[in-house]
Amino acid sequence: MAAGQKIEADRLAAGLLSTTIRLVRRLRVERSEEELSLFKLIVLASLARSGAVTATDLAAREHIRPQSLTRILAFLEKKGFVERQPDGADRRRLLITVTASGMEALRLSDHQRKAWLAGAIGRRLSPAERGELVRACRLLDRLAGDEGGRIKA
């Protein structure tokens, strides 16, 4: 990458990071349950998507340190949002699944945040800007899939 391109990429990265942080903070305000932190929601959503999984596999997939995941899972289990059951193929392994209560908490949290975001998009963005946002989401998805740097919670 040429020096000018690197400076431009650095500026864009700084702006994107700042904007992302502000949006995440705003979405936190729109959560349904104050106790469900971002990482707890990530873990719950991941389990809802994947189904039964071991804690080791979940930690690796979500790039969360096992110690952090242990605390998150203990909280989610205490709230009745997840449960652990022995693996039918290997009784020594425990599989973690989302309960109906956990699915409802996730649905409610998603609904409230999506409702706020949809309202803000409808009020603040023109149809052309909404099209730009669709393209930006595709680009952000590509960036999120870049495994060059691992996220550690």
Q: What is the pLDDT of residues 122-132, one digit of tens each?
A: 999 999 999 99
Residue 144 vs residue 127, higher pLDDT: 127
pLDDT reading at 108 higher than 90 = no
Q: With bands split at pLDDT 50, 70 and 90, how would you rate the model's confidence at 34?
A: low
What does the angle CA 95 – CA 31 – CA 122 come to, to the nearest 5 degrees?
120
The two tokens of residue 74 are 């203990």
- Is the overall model pTM greater than 0.75, yes or no? no
CATH of the domain spanning 7-144: 1.10.10.10
Measured from the Cβ of residue 103, the count of other Cβ atoms closer than 10 Å reads 14
Mean pLDDT of 129-137: 95
CA–CA distance, 38 with 33 (Å, rounded to integer)? 11
